Chain A
């Protein structure tokens, strides 16, 4: 067997695990590891400008591929800078392994230079964490870390490695652990057949069914199967913010996103349905509105890999714990064998009702204004990219407009921080995607507020040649905050106006990137195309949009699913 130092084992393990890129930033406690990385060429290290961006890059990669992203940082400030990125991944169940340097093991607890209890700091936002206590443990611990991060309900795992575990001159036997077993961790492999049968019986008898599919369908690799099932049944499908693309957004059975900024028809249909098939979704508070008023006549089938997600906020009538693929396959088989259905008429009426609802709001916005509406900008982006780009988003109104108006046709293409709502996520996430899909168009839709939270990464884009397109819906406000202030604080815009915005043109010049400005409606499509035509360059598209615009529909606080504001003057 080969003898390797701890640092070399890390580099070698990453290669053996099939990790191509690791995103990170060096520092004292991680220097042995960095030296080992320098002396090999299989694993490529991507140097960001702030550790938070490293986590979002790894996260973007993970969301676009379903595979775990890898991060390497030093102890203390390096580690604490990853906290927001780890929490972002945790909330959205994204597989990620974060390797943190740590001070020498004999110094731990002494408030040594750059010592932070990273295991303690990260405890509530990780799926699990490890501390290395002997260099020989490194391969096994890393194997467990990658396995835990990517199996079951995925999530981030932190591995804390004291500097003396990676000493260059202390070598130990290395072999890649092919398998891993943990006596206290066995992700569910199969849903309960009796429950699946019960679910299918209910599905086939339903009069007003709804399929409510979340991000778990995408991360569980079940998007194609779910689409097949929905189309075979001809039932309406709604996606959560995390689930967009899990069902083709342009299909006639798709009724739009549901929840706080969901479509009128999706929220109405949910409220009136008699059977909800919830799959890979978790009845988030931004979906259900007041749980006591949630879908009063619906029976609920809830399929999820995480038993703790089931009946957490909304009680399930038929809970099914299992991987989406396996559960859907078993459902499909039962549906194929089922005798002719008796609910055809009811389903016909249901669609009639839904199509009426579609007429009520239908994603309308004011197209007569001479200002550029953010919705129109997103639609122009959709046209310029043939609806086929990877779209990473920041957080705010622009995020909701993108979710509503960029009709995602495929899974893994919509990359957004749904659960934590992390401003600053968009650019580095887009970079992580672009790095791994160099031939694809990758857009970061952002606001002039969000982009400034990780704008230093423009430098990383320059270093690695990452020609992402940044579409900044510039409304001169922290728009989402302003909207809430308009609605709930009589328009008192406390600290939601961003004075002193940088000259983005000059900034792009400084970073040697391209800049396109869109000020009027009539130049929207042409300028958008011009920007996307610059394939090999990062282009910052500064699109000045109507600062007064609000995101609608918007659910009325503490109401039911169907209680919505439809514009500044209308509500249900």
Chain B
């Protein structure tokens, strides 16, 4: 099953490499990964998605928790949560294609954030499935470049991952 694990960790050099190193060392997979400082500059938040059986994910969270740099973590997929990913897509669009791309972007509630006479650069935000869907919908078009941030997530309601 797919899991989204969100980690609050010390904002120190070396912390990230310990987390990432743990995954290769213990033969766990990482599907997506993102990390940035939080409102508290001494902490960063790292979110990763991984696939694994319950037993594997239990080991992953236990091993992550053992890292001294990890302050707290949560498996967001264990409860109700919101997840978002941002994607930038550069697509060739000239002539009749321009209207077609524009329509698809609108349907997916994306934005065209840059353009040249022959290119649109599109920004889409949503769950990863939606991003996949958009790429599929562009099917016939000539996609030049795709950049995705990886998943970020937050629990619904009262629950927070903070100190």
Residue in A128, A131, A308 whose Cβ sees the most chain B Cβ within 10 Å: A308
What chain B residues lie within 8 Å of A293 (beta carbons)?
Answer: none
- CB 8 Å contact bits of A167-184 with B (1 = contact, 0 = none): 000000000000000111
Per-residue interface assignment for chain B, residues 33 to 74, with 1 indicating a CB less than 8 Å from any chain A CB and 0 otherwise: 000000000000000000000010011001101101111100
Say which residue of B14, B65, B71 sits within 8 Å of A129 (CB atoms): B14
Contacting B17 at CB < 8 Å: which of A120, A184, A185, A315?
A: A120
Beta-carbon nearest neighbor of A124 in chain B: B25
Residues of B with C-beta under 8 A to A148? 68
Q: Would you list which residues of chain A between 102 and 128 have a CB under 8 Å from chain B?
A: 119-120, 123-124, 127-128
**Cross-chain contact A311 with B163 (CB below 8 angstroms):** no
Check A119–B25 contact: CB distance below 8 A: no
Say whether B163 contacts A183, CB under 8 Å. yes
A307 touches which one: B10, B13, B55, B65 (CB < 8 A)?
A: B65
Also in contact, A184 and B59, with CB within 8 A (given A148-B68, A307-B65): no
Answer yes or no: B18 CB below 8 A from chain A CBs.
yes
Q: Is the CB of B62 within 8 A of A308?
A: yes
- Which of A124, A131, A306 has the most chain B CB atoms inside 10 A of its CB? A124
Question: A185 is contacted by which of B58, B62, B63, B68 (Cβ under 8 Å)?
Answer: B68
Q: Is the CB of A119 within 8 A of B14?
A: yes
How many Å lie between the Cα of A184 and that of B72 in the bound state? Answer: 7
> Within 8 Å CB of A184, what residues of B?
9-10, 68-72
| Candidates B18, B25, B58; contact of A311 at CB < 8 Å | B58
B66 — which chain A residues lie within 8 A by C-beta?
306-308
What chain B residues lie within 8 Å of A315 (beta carbons)?
A: 55
Which of B13, B21, B70 meets A124, CB within 8 Å? B21
With a cutoff of 8 Å between Cβ atoms, the chain A residues found around residue B25 in the complex are 124
In the complex the two chains form, what is the Cα distance from A308 to B70 in whole Å? 15
**1/0 contact trace for A135-176 toward B, CB 8 Å?**
000000000000010000000000000000000000000000
Size class of the contact patch on chain A = 10 to 19
Q: Which of A123, A124, A127, A308 contacts B68 (CB 8 A)?
A: A127
CB nearest to B64 among chain A residues: A308
Asked if B17 and A182 make an inter-chain contact with CB atoms under 8 angstroms apart, the answer reads: no
Contact B55 A311 (CB under 8 A): yes
- A312 adjacent to chain B (CB < 8 Å): yes
Report Cα–Cα, A315/B53, bound state, in Å. Answer: 14
Q: Mark A182-195, 1 if CB is under 8 A from B, else 0.
A: 11110000000000
Q: Which residues of B contact A312 (CB under 8 A)?
A: 59
In the assembled complex, the Cα of A312 lies from the Cα of B60 at a distance in Å of: 10
Interchain nearest-CB distance for B49 vs A (Å):
21
Task: Find chain B residues with CB under 8 A from A127 CB.
Answer: 68
Chain A min CB distance to B112 (Å): 41
Do the beta carbons of A131 and B68 come within 8 Å of each other? Answer: no
Other-chain residue from B14, B62, B65 in contact with A131 (beta carbon distance below 8 A):
B14
Q: Which residues of A contact B17 (CB under 8 A)?
A: 120, 123
Cβ-defined contact, B68 with A183, below 8 A:
no
A306 to B59, CA, bound (A): 12
Residue of chain A at shortest CB distance from B66: A308
Residue of B nearest to A315 (CB): B55
Per-residue CB contact flags for chain A residues 559-570 toward chain B (1 = under 8 Å, else 0) read 000000000000
A308 touches B63 (CB 8 A): yes
Bound-complex Cα distance A182 to B68 (A): 9
User: Separation in Å of the B161 CB from the closest CB of chain A?
Assistant: 13
Q: B14 contacts which chain A residues (CB < 8 A)?
A: 119, 129, 131
Kindly name the residue among B14, B65, B71 whose own CB sees the greatest number of chain A CB atoms within 10 A.
B14
Residue of B nearest to A183 (CB): B71
Least CB distance from A128 to B in Å reads 4
For B68, the chain A residues whose CB sits under 8 A away are 127-128, 148, 182, 184-185
Q: Which of B10, B65, B68 lies at the interface centre, i.e. has the most chain A CB atoms within 10 A of its CB?
A: B68
A296-323 with Cβ < 8 A to chain B: 306-308, 311-312, 315
Cα A387 to Cα B118 in complex, Å, equals 86
A128–B62 Cα distance when bound, in Å, is 16
| Closest Cβ neighbor of A128 among chain B residues | B68
Query: Whole-angstrom distance between the alpha carbons of A120 and B66 in the complex?
Result: 18
A195 to B13, CA, bound (A): 39
Q: Write the nearest CB–CB distance from B52 to chain A, whole angstroms.
A: 14
Report B90 CB to chain A, min CB distance, Å.
34
- Complex alpha-carbon distance, A127 and B68, angstroms: 8
Contacts of A311 in B (CB 8 A): 55, 58
A123 and B65 alpha carbons, distance in the complex (Å): 16
Roughly how many angstroms separate A430 CA and B55 CA in the complex, as a whole number? 40
Kindly state the separation between the CA atoms of A127 and B63 in the bound complex, as whole angstroms: 11
Q: Give A183 to B13 CA distance when docked, in angstroms.
A: 17
Establish whether residues A307 and B71, one from each chain, have CB atoms under 8 Å apart when the complex forms. no
Q: How far is the CB of A317 from chain B (nearest CB, A)?
A: 15
A129 to B21 alpha-carbon distance, docked (Å): 14
For B9, list chain A residues within 8 Å (CB).
184
CB distance from B31 to the nearest CB of A (A): 22
Give the distance to chain B from A165, nearest Cβ to Cβ, in Å: 16
Contacts of A124 in B (CB 8 A): 21, 25
Residues of A within 8 A of B (CB): 119-120, 123-124, 127-129, 131, 148, 182-185, 306-308, 311-312, 315
- Which 9 A-B pairs have CB atoms at the shortest separation, nearest pair first? A308-B62, A184-B71, A128-B68, A124-B25, A185-B68, A307-B62, A123-B21, A308-B63, A308-B66
- 5 A-B pairs with CB atoms under 8 Å apart are A123-B18, A128-B68, A129-B14, A182-B68, A311-B58
Given contacts A184-B68, A308-B59, 18 further A-B contacts (CB under 8 A): A123-B17, A123-B21, A124-B25, A129-B14, A131-B13, A148-B68, A184-B10, A184-B69, A184-B70, A185-B68, A306-B66, A307-B62, A308-B62, A308-B63, A308-B65, A311-B55, A311-B58, A315-B55
